[in-house]
Amino acid sequence: MTARALRALSPHPWLAPVQGADRSDSSPLTRGTKAARRTAVAAALVSLALPFAIAPAEAAYRPPRTGFETSGGDRWTGEAEERSFLAAVGRGSDRVSLERIGTTARGRPLHLVRTGRPGPVATTVLLVCGQHGDEPAGREACLTTVRDLAFAEDRATSAFLARTNLLVLPTANPDGRAANTRGNAEGVDVNRDHIALRTAEARAIAAVMRDERPDVVYDLHEYRATPPYYDKDLLVLWPRNTNVDHRVHSASRDLAERYVQAAAAAAGYRSGPYGVWTDPATGEPVKRTAGGGQERVLRNASGLKHAVGLLVESRADALSDAERADPALNRLRRVHSQRTAIGGLFEFTEQQRARLRRATASSRLTGPADRGPVRLGGADDEPAEAAETIADPPCGYRLDAAQYADVKDVLALHGVSARLHEGGAGGAYVPLRQSARRLVPLLLDHRASYHVTSGQIDDNC
C-alpha cells in the first residue's frame, strides 16, 4: 500500500507512514553505498521527527531535537540531552509540563511528562518507556512523540489532546540507561518489581497509577530474536493474569491485535504475541519465554489495577546485511516500529474511548461486591490448577504491628485500604471488599508466589 493510500485510510496523522520504513534490501535505507544510506537515514529522521503538520506560525520556533536525531541515528540520546530536550519542549509549548516523581538509587530524577487534558472527562493514557536500561528504542519513541504532540497544529491531534490526558515516563530506569544494563543500579529488574515495590522506579510508577488511575498503561521494551521460533519485527502482549476483569482483558487484547498489530502491518512490520515460541510449520506453541500471568510484571499489575495494559517489544538485532554494516539503520528501524505502535495505541484510544472508560470503571466498581475465586497462578492460555485457586476467598487478612509497619507503604502505593486495629495494638485489617479485591490475596496470602507478607486469614465473615 502506498503512503498516500494509507493516509487516506487513516483520519489521524500519527498513523502516517515514515519514509524509509521498508527494511527490505531494495529499500532506500538498505541499498547503495554507506554514504547513500547515511543520507537516507538523515532524510528519514527528519520525517520521523515531524509526523504532524506544524502551522506556519510555528516556523519561527524550531522544535528541539533529541541527541538520537541530531546524531543521524549514530547514538542514543544522552542523559543531559534528555533533560535539555524536555526543558526546551516545555518552554516552547504550553501543552507540556514536567514533574519529578522520584529519585533513583544513584540520585537521578524520575520525570513524568504531562500533555493533553487532565480531569475526569479525559481518557488517561500512561506510557512507561525504558524499564530495562539496555532497551532504548522505546525511550526515543516516547521523547519524540512528546515533542510532536507539543507542537502539532492539525485539527485531529488537537481534538485527540482535548480528550486525552497523556502521561509519559520517558526514562523509567535512568540508572540502567546510563549503564546500559537491564536492571537498575541495584541490579534489580524493575519489571519484576510491581508487587514488592522495592525499587524507587517501581514505586514511582505505582504512585502514578494510584493517583492518576490510568485507563491504559503502555509499556515499551525491546527483545532479541530466536529464529525460527521467535523472529517478528514487533511483539505485543496483553495482561494474561486470570484475575484481570474480563472487560479489561478483552479491551487489552483488542488494543494488541486490532490496533497495534494492525498499525505495524500497515507499515510493513511483521508482528505477533510476545512470550511464546511457536513452530513455524504448525503454529503450535513450543516454549513459554516470558512472564505469562505473573502479577509482578507491569502489564499484569496494570490489569489487576483496572487499566488496559500492553507490553510492546521491538526487535533489537539486525534484520539485514545493511543494518549489520550500518547500526544507524538498525536504530532507526527500531524507533520507527515503536512510533508506529504508539500510533496504533492512539488510534485505539480515539476510537474506543467509550468502551475503554466503561471497562476500566466497571472493573474498579466490581471489587466490593465480587464473591468469585482468586487465582494464584495460571494465565489466560494456561488455566490455573486447583491448588492455585482460592475458590472461596476469605473476608480479609489480619496483620500484626510488625507486619503492618513493614508493608503499609507498599499497600498504600498499591491503593489497598487497611483498617487499623482498635486499642492501639499497631496492627491492621485488610478487607477483600474493596476495589483492589483480586490484588489483596496476591499481596498478603502465604500461598501467593510473590506475597509481601503472610497475613492471618480471616474466614469469619
C-alpha grid cell, residue 348: 485505539
Q: Return the amino acid letter for 426.
A: G
Q: Which helix (H) or strand (E) holds 429?
A: strand 428-431
Q: Where in the chain is the domain with CATH 3.40.630.10?
A: 3-362
Choice between 112 and 50, residue whose per-residue pLDDT is larger:
112
pLDDT digits (tens, 9 = 90+) for 154-167: 999 999 999 999 99
Give the range with max mean pLDDT: 7-11, 44-48, 92-96: 92-96
Q: Are the C-beta atoms of residues 308 and 41 closer than 8 Å to each other?
A: no
Torsion (CA) 29, 32, 36, 37 in degrees, nearest 10: 30
Question: Stretch 74-78: mean pLDDT, rounded?
Answer: 98
61 has pLDDT over 70: no
Query: pTM for this structure?
Result: 0.90
Q: What is the pLDDT of residue 60?
A: 53
Whether the per-residue pLDDT at 358 is higher than 90: the answer is yes
Q: Of the given ranges (29-33, 61-65, 276-280, 369-373), which has the lowest mean pLDDT?
A: 29-33
At residue 142, the pLDDT reads 98
- What amino acid is encoded at 254 in this protein? D
Name, in order, each residue with C-beta under 8 angstroms of 280's C-beta and a sequence gap of 6 or more. Answer: 228, 229
Residue 33's pLDDT is what?
A: 47
* Out of 29-33, 229-233, 392-396, least confident range: 29-33
- Enter the CATH code of domain 3-362: 3.40.630.10
Does 300 have pLDDT greater than 60? yes
Q: What is the pLDDT of residues 236-287, one digit of tens each?
A: 999 999 999 999 999 999 999 999 999 999 999 999 999 988 888 888 888 8
Sheet of 396-399, strand order: 419-420, 428-431, 396-399, 456-458
Q: 119-123, 202-206, 238-242, 380-384: which range is least confident on average?
A: 119-123
* Averaged pLDDT, 56-83: 86
What confidence tens digit (pLDDT) does each residue in 393-436 have? 999 999 999 999 999 999 999 999 999 987 667 899 999 999 99
More confident residue, 374 or 41: 374
